[in-house]
Amino acid sequence: MRHPSTPLRIGPLTLRNRLIKAATNEGMSRQGLPTRQLVRFHEAVAAGGAGLTTLAYCAVSAAGTTLNDQIVLNETALPHLQALTEAVHRQGGAASAQITHGGCFTFVRGHGRPWSASGGVNKIGMMSGQLLKRAMGEQEMEAVAAQFAKAARLARRAGFDAVEIHMGHGYLLSQFLSPLYNQRRDAYGGDIEGRARFPLRVLRRVLDAVGDEMAVICKYSMTDGCRGGNRTEEGVAIARLLEREGAHMLVLSAGLNAESITTMFGSSFPAENRAVVTNPLMKAAMFLQQRFQREVPFRELYLLEKARRVRQAVSLPLAYLGGVNSAANVHQVLGEGFEAVALGRVLIHDPDFVAAVCRGADHQSGCTHCNRCVAMMYTEGGTSCVLKAPGDPRLNRQPAAG
């Protein structure tokens, strides 16, 4: 059985171990620039032993952002991103930039009617007055694919060791993959091969741009977790297509932000989250989300049954994500043939979790999976565990390279 401390090869990249910090939106960029608090956050994860830490939601264009103040991979952000990767490398870790485009899942105005796989009513946009979305044409798809490739090249210049293309959770590429959003009748719709055609083009462009120099990872939803969306059968088929196109590793997630967030997080969201948020749009969105969500108690390894089906279907490296809360969980996942374990809330609670597991300790995380850390991204100090000290608002106002 693989030990967590065993090095892992992903494309051209070798990680020092098999434990990865999953992307978690941190609320630690101001005017699109990483802050010193964001550098401190990821440096702590690397110091805690993670083989790879993932910088969440780096938009490939300003139109691809979902919220104000998100990082856009451009020349202005470059020195601040370099400050982050240098800090991670000083601690012996590797850094990955999650590159993505929100499509119609956006609360940001000023870029015209948002793009998606299909046009029509934009239910997400009802919160921000963007009631309609527009279907992408061939020209728009080519332009966005080029933006993904350009963003990957800039990430390389910034010192990142990997890029993670976000194809899940209801963002643009997920909108193409999911029949819930993709109603097209041309070559980019219909069956799963048609719906995957544009996401696969994006993957190919990124691989051609940086695949010899960086690990190219894809994160996607094995199931949409709601009526009318992809089921696990389609999730298996997507994994096969991504493997065929040459992805170096897949991060196995599930669910959609709007329709099935409990599928993604494996447990319900507490009402206390609304008290933390000051943005009226997000406060309203959380109210509606909690109003219609079913109560879901947390259970460890809540996505393992679905991930096993993907593991049986493909041979490329897979990172399991979902409900890992102890050293025993890590050993079980690696023992079942997954190459890596991705950790989110556990490392927000305690970045040193990785070091404890790699030392061989029979370690149990103190994370309660209350999901209150999710709302903390909207606070002045950014994402933090409510059981620990909050982030530093002062550092979260200072650009990383300032």
- Catalytic residue annotation: 171
Neighbouring residues of 300: CB distance < 8 A, sequence distance ≥ 6: 323, 324, 325, 326, 329
Separation CA 383–CA 348 (nearest Å): 8
Token reading at 201: 């083009």
Give the helix/strand (H/E) hosting 13.
strand 13-15
* Gap between the Cα atoms of 228 and 97, Å rounded: 31
Contacts of 319 (CB under 8 A, 6+ apart): 20, 217, 249, 250, 251, 252, 338, 339, 340, 341, 342
Name the E strands within 200-274: 215-221, 249-253
3-state secondary structure 306-317: HHHHHHHHCCCC
Amino acid identity of residue 330, one-letter, is: V
Torsional sign, CA 348, 351, 352, 354: positive
Asked if 316 contacts 284 with a C-beta cutoff of 8 angstroms, the reply is no
Which DSSP category does 62 fall into?
A: G
Do residues 255 and 361 touch, judged by C-beta distance below 8 A?
no
Distance separating alpha carbons of residues 87 and 94, to the nearest angstrom = 10
Q: Locate 51 and state its tokens.
A: 């083989």
Cα Rg of the chain (Å, integer): 19
